[in-house]
Chain A
Amino acid sequence: MAVTKAEVQHIALLSRLAISEEESERYAQQLSEILDYAAQLNRLDTAGVEPTFHAVPLVNVFREDIQGTPIPLEAALSNSARAKGSFFEVPKVADGS
């Protein structure tokens, strides 16, 4: 299951990660090894087995539509790298607008 360098770079782009050429190569090899290991599961015959969407056999878990108390603004912003007034402040991601 060889993961290519191009795939690693694509995933890095989707994840907004800047990685070097050297890293792309290293991760491609590491990810390939991980996938090969997991691929051992493919040896099992799973014909006729329903896909498992959840590990726990629960259905219809709901909460009622009742408002709780939001956390204070200071607490909401406390973990952010930067804040401005009531806003989180982040580097602008160009989106054409």
Chain B
Amino acid sequence: MPEFEPVIGLEVHTELNTASKVFCDDPTVFGAEPNTQVSPISLGLPGVLPVLNRAAFEKALKTAIALGCEIPERTTFDRKHYYYPDLPKNYQISQQYEPLGTKGAVDIHLKDGSTKTIRINNIHLEEDAGKLIHPDTPAARGLSWVDLNRAGMPLLEIVTEPDIDTLEELEVFMQTLRSILRYLDVSDCKMQEGSLRFELNLSMRPVGAKELGTKTEVKNVGSIKAVLRAARYEIKRQSELLEAGERVIQETRLWDDDRGETRSMRSKEVAKDYRYFPDPDLPAVRISADWMGRIRAELPELEDAKRRRFVAEYGIPEYDAGVLATDRALADYFETCCRMHASPKAFSNWIMVELLRELQNREMEIEDCPLTAPRLAELVRMVEQGTISNNIAKDVLKEVMETNESPARIVESKGLSQVSDEAALLAVVHEVIAANPGPAQDVREGKEKALGFLMGQVMRKTQGKANPGVCKALLERELGSG
């Protein structure tokens, strides 16, 4: 019985973050009342003329360049025909014959330290379709509701070659691509709002075989997590078929996230016969070397380059740099902190441990975080100057997240400043020694552990505000050790 291994390719759809739609000037705000961001063009009324949005085209071009695509001198738009209520004019404007970019690549870094290249077959610009709602009420049985706000949103499709061989590669690829799109500022990639969507192409073949098996295409997968679940499901389903000596049928399957399974769509409804032809409404776009050069000059530093620079410039460990560089906003946050106060390692620790955990617990984006970069800089400075202890600083951080107050104000209003005054601390030290004769004796005899215990007692009596260095010195002096 041969073992089987998966071969995976992805079709990635990402909505570009323009102010208006790709072929008309409807606004692109998410969550508006249904059918209030529409015009005769997005409604598909007769006699209208679509005109290409320059910003949408340039964002698409920027992405194609960043992914190392070959860019043709000329790119054109085609009509892809299908009849479905989410597409009122019965064709989608897309690019079939002369797409914007071909033969790109994305490098992904795997856990074992290796790097793998996932080839991009092509990148093309198209328009999004509307949204259908299938109401679940008896009165609306057999009916669908159509919202065309999304119809005509600029959509970039990125098609990979079937180069993905494992679930780890699949996950890292999706994360890497998302990071690149966010770095480029071409899409906000909010999966819960549908601005980043994936279609999975998956087949199985005997381990070591060159030939590809029969693939299925899985649609309707809404998040990176769901893609991984759908892939795991299809791997199992197809493996079981093949091991039982049966065949995999080439078909489109729909992912059901609630049930955690894929199921077949009836072939009649997904017949792939789009009858593409060049759209006579839209003239070709010629891409000059000059234009390419301008876009190329605007490309931001991407994740890999940033990670290397963080190590070189700030002297932080490779691991820290990798975490901070995964997201452009997070990397910018770190650099802002470092510009305000030169303690890169302290910032990377605070960000990776405390801040990311707080953000995750609150399901918050760093852009919306009350602990702004200047505030974290202020907090770290207070710790380094001995104004507050490290433990108190953690409490202050949580308090900032809750109250949106500045760290300095919280420290002041709650009286959290560290006590470094020897005279004040000496009284507490004497109290602690008197109350704990046993451990005190141990310290006199040179047992280090007991010193820690007495330190803890001093901290308790001062609600954590005692300066640990001063306390330790006082205890050692009073007990004649150290």
Chain A residues packing against B (C-beta within 8 Å): 10, 13-16, 53-56, 58-68, 70-71, 73, 76-77, 79, 84-97
Contact = CB atoms under 8 A, between A and B. Distances in A.
Given A16-B83, A63-B54, 14 more contacts: A59-B286, A60-B283, A62-B51, A62-B54, A65-B55, A68-B25, A68-B26, A68-B39, A87-B133, A89-B146, A91-B144, A93-B85, A93-B144, A97-B220
B404 interface: no
Nearest to B263: A96
B452 interface: no
A89 B144 contact: yes
B57 A88 contact: no
B210 interface: no
A86 B33 contact: yes
Contacts of A76: 35-36, 38, 43, 148
B145 interface: yes
A71 B53 contact: no
A51 B37 CA distance: 37
A63 B50 CA distance: 10
Given A14-B81, A76-B38, A89-B144, A67 B265 contact: no
A50 B27 CA distance: 38
Contact of B19 (A62, A65, A85): A65
A86 B268 CA distance: 31
Contacts of A96: 254, 263-266, 269
Nearest to B220: A97
Interface string B43-84: 101000001111111000000000000000010100001111
A70 B20 CA distance: 11
B287 to A, nearest CB: 9
Contacts of A61: 51-52, 282-283
B273 interface: yes
A56 B33 contact: no
Given A14-B83, A88-B146, A96-B265, A54 B278 contact: yes
A59 B283 contact: yes
B300 interface: no
Interface in B108-160: 133-134, 140, 142-148
A66 B20 contact: yes
Contacts of B38: 70-71, 76
A90 B146 contact: yes
A79 to B, nearest CB: 8
Interface pairs A-B: 4 shortest CB-CB: A68-B25, A65-B55, A87-B145, A62-B54
Contact of B143 (A66, A68, A92): A92
